[in-house]
Structure 1
Amino acid sequence: MGTASASSRKADPRTPADVRAERAARNEGRPTLAFDGVTPYVAYTGVDVLLDLQHPRTREPAELSFIVTTQVMELLFVLIRQHWTAARAALEEDDVPAAIAALRRSTAAQDVLVQSWDLLATLTPVEFNRFRDALGESSGFQSYTYRHLEFLLGNRSPALARPHRRMPEVYAELRRALGEPSLYDAALRLLARRGLPIPADRVERDWSAPYEPDERVEDAWAEVYADDRPGNELFLLAETLLDTAERVTRWRERHLAAVRRSMGAKPGTGGSQGLAWLAQSVRRDVFPELWTLRTRL
């Protein structure tokens, strides 16, 4: 009895590829149509939960577009954060090729993020006004997933984590992010380890403070750009960082344009001056010395 039971529990010798091939043969090449319970697709993706998260508060059809677009952006924020975090870790480990690969994956997600504004491109002020009051004090500024991205870029202030202090896990993650080098900080630390003249106060500093441009950092990047051969991985890193930075600016510009088109210069729902506040964000360069260096070269 015990032997038979043990025998029945023997591992299936078939590989997953074998199982898939057998299933295809059994189905004569057609998709499986019968399942016990939900389909494996639903179980894996959680799409039933995902599609139950849209709850418009008005009868204005454009509100659904607004909600779906916002949720798509939030998912992309999560994906981009994963890539930027991986890139930062690779830089701290002196693995420049891995950092470049992670950043290139992130730019593909950033392109989709920028294009997602197209979903709201036709939102008129009249349509927006029909559901804007239903937002209450809700604002994209309150997105903690986006705040993580800004912290990774170096746009930091402990006050920016404060809106989330009533969410202990989220607040702890943001506070932890404030105490770690940003993506750009990690790049500068790498340059210093490679012998480039990065100032000591850029290698170790109060990471919670926002990054401030430094002409000496520009000098170090100038040395990198002096050797633009394809094999210079630091040059490739610099250009890939700028690819990332440019897409951040594009996203901010599209955000500004969308707000200007849908509500003009009215105050924002979250307490800001709306258009004027967003314009300040657009003017803030990401990885600033990589931009100012262009004039010098």
Structure 2
Amino acid sequence: MNASETPEHIVHQEKAQLDFSRDMSYSDYLHLDELLGAQHPLSPEHNEMLFIVQHQTSELWMKLMLHELQAAIAHVAQDKLPPAFKMLARVSKILEQLVHAWDVLATMTPPEYSALRPYLARSSGFQSYQYRQIEFFLGNKNAAMLKPHTHRPDLLALVEAAYRAPSLYDESLRLLARNGLTIPTSHLQRDWTQPYQADPVVEAAWLTVYREPDQYWDLYQLGEKLTDLEDAFRQWRFRHVTTVERVIGFKRGTGGTSGVGFLRKMLDVVLFPEIWTLRTSL
């Protein structure tokens, strides 16, 4: 410490460094006043805060997932695979976060949830427009899933855009075709709103990639990124149905679905079918 750096001078400097009145602060940048002020429990139940925060944070993670997923699809369409791989890997990691989030919600017991459930009215995660966009971008197209969003034309437009767009897998198959692999025209030029139908010719194309990884290294890597993504997505779905059954049993969902029965049917949905079936033939 030199002569000019008296203890009083150092304290003054530290106070100046801690003064954020003229600069953007951490709270300003993240809009924490709005973010942390967005929890408004409707019941007198202590556990409702857990329920709200669980779902709000899940929606934030889904916002990031959509950000990465849409960009990854665009990059695959433009043959820009290295950045697409990074984005798809990030989506898989986000899904890991969402899987572990169910562990926190599972600390809510059936009586605790039953006490706050009447205050939820018909609100349900089934109505999440971000989740529906994710499902559509991953290829699980179902026109009936547009209906829960018809009360909000602005949100319906977002969901419908994802519904009508080529999915991640659609763009992946187009990429295989651009690399000289045989993909049926029916899978390259089709109505993107229709559910994907597996095809043995598509499986044969992926088999070629997996049998000759040195020649098709980028496509081989893409196949594994898709596998990672669906693996993580399946775990998220499984953890969801298990948590719901643990907390509410087989009651109907607040949004009108059959609850656990509906969620179990979703476990049978395969997003990238030939990526999985080819493994039997290797």
2:76 match: 91
User: In the alignment, which of 120, 126, 137 is matched to residue 122 of structure 2?
Assistant: 137
CA shift, 1:257, in A, is 0.6
The equivalent of 1:215 in structure 2 is: 200
Residue 296 (structure 1) shift:
2.1
Q: Quickly say closer, same or farther: Cα 1:135–1:241, change in 2 above 3 A.
A: same
Identity score, percent = 42
Q: Distance in 1 between matches of 2:11 and 2:184?
A: 67
The answer on 1:76 being equivalent to 2:61 is yes
Q: Report which stretch shifted further, 240-249 or 280-289.
A: 280-289
Choose which of 77, 96, 117 in structure 2 pairs with 1:111. Answer: 96
- Describe the superposition over 1:199-250 as per-residue Cα deviations: whole angstroms up to 9, x where unpaired: 1111111001111222221111111100234971110110011101111001
Q: Does 1:270 align with 2:270?
A: no
Distance 2:205 2:215 in 1: 19
**What secondary structure, in the 3-state scheme, does the structure 2 residue paired with 1:94 have?**
coil
Is 1:257 paired with 2:242? yes
Cα distance per residue 1:40-83 (max 9 Å; x no partner): 21221111101111111112222111110000100011101111
| Distance (Å, rounded) in 1 between the aligned partners of 2:274 and 2:110 | 38
Distance 1:103 1:28 in 2: 46
Distance in 2 separating the partners of 1:233 and 1:27 = 58
Question: Structure 1: any 5+ residue segments left out of the alignment?
Answer: 1-24
Query: What's the TM-score once normalised by structure 1's chain length?
Result: 0.87
Q: Deviations over 1:21-49 (max 9, x none)?
A: xxxx9985788322338962122111110
Structure-1 separation of matches of 2:280 and 2:113: 41
Partner of 1:282: 267
Counterpart-to-counterpart distance in 1, 2:235 and 2:179: 32
Greater displacement, 165-174 / 137-146? 165-174
Distance 2:14 2:136 in 1: 49
- Residue 41 of structure 2 corresponds to 56
* 1:244 matched to 2:233: no
The letter for the 1-side match of 2:141 is R
In structure 2, relative to structure 1, the CA distance for the partners of 1:28 and 1:225 (3 Å cut) is farther
Moved over 4 A (4+): 25-31
Instruction: Decide whether the 8 Å contact of 2:209 with 2:216 is kept in 1.
Output: no
Alignment-mate amino acid for residue 81 of structure 1: L
Query: Aligned ranges for residues 187-206 of structure 1 at < 5 Å?
Result: 187-206=172-191
CA deviations 1:90-132 (Å, max 9, x no partner) are: 1110112121111112222121111111111211111110101
1:90, 1:99 within 8 Å by CA — same for their partners in 2?
A: yes
3-state SS, counterpart of residue 91 of structure 1: helix
- Give 5+ residue unaligned stretches, structure 2: 1-9
**Would the alpha carbon gap of residues 222 and 58 (structure 1) be closer, same or farther in structure 2, given more than 3 Å must change?**
same
8 Å CA contact retained: 2:209, 2:220: yes
Contact 1:158 1:175 in 2 (8 A): no
Give the aligned residue type for 1:283.
Answer: D
In the alignment, which residue of structure 2 is the partner of 1:166?
151
Q: Report the secondary structure of 1:218's partner residue.
A: helix
Residue 79 to residue 57, structure 1, CA distance change in 2 (3 Å): same
C-alpha separation in 1, matches of 2:216 and 2:197: 30
The structure with higher relative contact order (CA 8 Å, sep 6+) is 2
Partner of 1:13: none
Contact 2:137 2:162 in 1 (8 A): yes
Q: Corresponding residue for 1:182? A: 167
Distance (Å, rounded) in 2 between the aligned partners of 1:214 and 1:125: 44
Query: C-alpha separation between the residues in 2 aligned to 1:31 and 1:211?
Result: 61
